[in-house]
Amino acid sequence: MFQTTAIVTDDKTEFYRQLAGQLQALLEGERDFIANAANTAALLYQTMPDLNWAGFYLLKHGELVLGPFQGKTACVRIPLGRGVCGAAAQQRHSVLVEDVHAFPGHIACDAASRSELVVPILREGELIGVIDLDSPNLARFDAKDQAGIERIAEIFALASA
């Protein structure tokens, strides 16, 4: 049975290397998409400091629909192109927002959120959803977080094919 281990390091590159290793071990041998999304969201929420939401929005019938997550209740449907999640999905690239209140069209599911990182999940070039991370801290995420979560999205997409 897999058990999450604390990642103790001040080096973000090392943190994400260890996180990727834990995710690969957690998802090994399991192909169920929902089970893997639920465990991935839980792993991110438990190991990443200063998050108030971690989860998935899945592409269904041309819009993003809430998937497995950790945190407060959330918006259920997000049109492509709307908010941070919709922008990342429509553009098919990561969107890092230091201050969500300065992002045009931001969708405030939790008023406590101040910064956000959304990474698209692609399988063979096709969008299947996004990983969404919210923080109550202004400018919580940086380029190293983006690169680390992009790697997490790759691992998830491969494991859940």
pLDDT 10s digits, 13-29? 999 999 999 999 999 99
For residue 145, pLDDT beyond 60: yes
CA distance 85 to 56: 10
**Angle, helix 12-27 to helix 143-159, in steps of 10 degrees:** 10
66/5: higher pLDDT: 66
pLDDT of 107 reads 74
- The token duo for 68 is 């497995």
Measured torsion, CA atoms of residues 97, 101, 102, 105, in degrees rounded to the nearest 10: 90
Centre a 10 Å sphere on the Cβ of residue 15 and count the other Cβ atoms it contains: 19
Domains identified in the chain and CATH numbers = 12-159 (3.30.450.40)
- What DSSP assignment string belongs to 94-116? -EEES-GGGSTT---SSTT--EE
What is the pLDDT confidence band of residue 1, given thresholds at 50, 70 and 90?
Answer: low
CA distance 75 to 25: 31
For residue 92, pLDDT beyond 60: yes
